[in-house]
Amino acid sequence: MPVHVEHEQFQQIGERLLNAMDANNTERVQEILNQDLSAVDIAHIIESTPSKRRADIWKFLSESQKGEVISHLSDDLQLHYLTKMSPEQVLEAIQDLDSDDFADVLQQLPETNRIAVLHSMEPEDRREVEELLAYPEDTAGGLMNPEVLTIRANVTLDVVLRYLRRQSDLPDQFDSLYVVNRNDQLVGTLPLHALLLGDPDTTVREVMNSDIEGIPAASRDSDVAKLFANHDWISAPVVDEKGKLLGQITIDDIVDVIREEADHTVMSMAGLDEDEDAFAPVWSSAKGRAVWLGLNLLTAFIAALVILNFEDAIAMITALAVMNPVVASMGGVAGSQTLTLVIRAQATGKINASNYLWLLGREFGVGLINGFLWAIVTAFVCWLLFSNVQLAIVSGIAILANITIAKISGALLPVILEKLKIDPALSGSVILTTVTDAVGFFTLLGLATWYLL
């Protein structure tokens, strides 16, 4: 597999590919695809190419390449290509994949296509894959690869070494052997270096690492990712309720989980699908974004309706129309800082019953401090603009109230939403801005009506 250390270098090759395609220089294209680029690189180029041109690249790929490439594409693109292929083509394309990647790809297919592919498989391969498909994609079972090397505790390292030499090929990223009893229950692991360091005549039991617990197949993938990060694992065994060894999870799958989690937070805070294809055609992109905009229009109107009740105030002091968005936007930003902080703390498992109240109080304090600071500044600027002391005071108080309430809302929302099984990263920001807008408008215009008219 070729290695492209520098991002720039990789981009140059990508552009040479597109140029060769424009020039219809078939040999050149073939050469670049087969020699200069790995399957991962090709997947990356396809994802970075406007939808129309993707088909051109796809045509040049060999069946075996297609499988490798598909396994590295984002879910929606996998579906796009797989649904265009016959069950036989799909099978031929993905047959060389590790069975966990194989299962992940099948999981993208619609029920009927998936069954068709499974039917065209050898019985025992098919059984293995079906077992994998039984686990949800986002669990340890969905991440694991059933191909593991198991040994017994009572054999000597020398026997193990000879056994390994007889293996035709070993799982990739294979750093330890799993020791099981006669019921296939995990009793320990034998790291390769222990195998190498140990005296050939010692038994596995003497050198194996036996204080390891297997990961239950039902564990959430995010929990598994935390374990890998915390314990610097390269691979870990997966077991069922009875402690029976089912397979192993390797670090490469974990890196994907971490990347996806990150994408999810960033993208969903802007109301985008974490898997949103950056180069999807206009129409499908427009559809994807419309829902969120519609939701925001609804909430924006709800917030703006508050203004309706104060038309007299605005008619008399049009300066209020100027201060309105200022007060609202300060609340919005102050709230989103807290919202983001709390959502990240949730994602990294740093929030629990014992520290949450403290956090809430801290944000209240932060709100008061920043509220007072910016209330004074706002009042001053407002006075400069309109040389109206009462209006300046009212604006200042409105800023103080809105920032403080925004901080508290930002800290409460994610926890409430999680309790309601609603994703805070997705819905938090739109709800928060509605609150901060409404509170902002209400405090400013309400105070003005009561105090200035």
> What length is written for the chain?
453
Task: Kindly tell me which residue out of 79, 116, 153, 341 binds a second copy, with binding defined by CB under 8 A.
Answer: 341
Alpha carbon distance 131, 144 (integer Å): 11
- Which stretch, 80-88, 180-188, 240-248, 311-319, contacts a second copy (CB under 8 A)? 311-319
Q: Per rule CB under 8 A, is residue 33 in the interface with a second copy? A: no
Task: Kindly tell me which residue out of 92, 137, 256, 423 binds a second copy, with binding defined by CB under 8 A.
Answer: 256
Terminus-to-terminus CA distance in the chain, angstroms?
Answer: 76
For the CB of residue 283, give the shortest distance to a second copy in the complex, in Å: 7
Task: Kindly tell me which residue out of 374, 396, 402, 417 binds a second copy, with binding defined by CB under 8 A.
Answer: 374
- Which stretch, 57-65, 79-87, 89-97, 269-277, contacts a second copy (CB under 8 A)? 269-277
User: If you write DSSP's letter for every residue of 94-142 in order, what string do you get?
Assistant: HTTS-HHHHHHHHHHS-HHHHHHHHHTS-HHHHHHHHHHHTS-TTBHHH
Q: Mark residues 392-421: x for contact with a second copy by CB under 8 A, - for none.
A: -----------x------------------
Q: Per rule CB under 8 A, is residue 23 in the interface with a second copy? A: no
Residue type at 250 in one-letter notation: T
Considering the complex, state which of residue 116 and residue 243 has its C-beta at the smaller distance from a second copy: 243
Q: Per rule CB under 8 A, is residue 55 in the interface with a second copy? A: no
Question: What's phi and psi for 138, nearest 5 deg?
Answer: -95, 30
Strand partners, 215: 238
CA 295, chain centre distance (Å): 23
For the CB of residue 260, give the shortest distance to a second copy in the complex, in Å: 10
Considering only residues 206 to 235 of the shown chain, the ones binding a second copy according to CB under 8 A are 211-213, 215-216, 219, 223, 226-232, 234
Helix (H) or strand (E) holding 320: helix 319-347
- Nearest Cα neighbor of 148 from 249, 256, 221, 220 is 249
- Nearest Cα neighbor of 128 from 116, 144, 113 is 144
Considering only residues 96 to 135 of the shown chain, the ones binding a second copy according to CB under 8 A are none
DSSP SS3 for 158 = helix
Alpha carbon distance 345, 351 (integer Å): 6
- Which stretch, 81-89, 129-137, 241-249, 316-324, contacts a second copy (CB under 8 A)? 316-324
Considering only residues 140 to 159 of the shown chain, the ones binding a second copy according to CB under 8 A are none
- Which stretch, 27-35, 86-94, 106-114, 355-363, contacts a second copy (CB under 8 A)? 355-363
Considering the complex, state which of residue 89 and residue 292 has its C-beta at the smaller distance from a second copy: 292
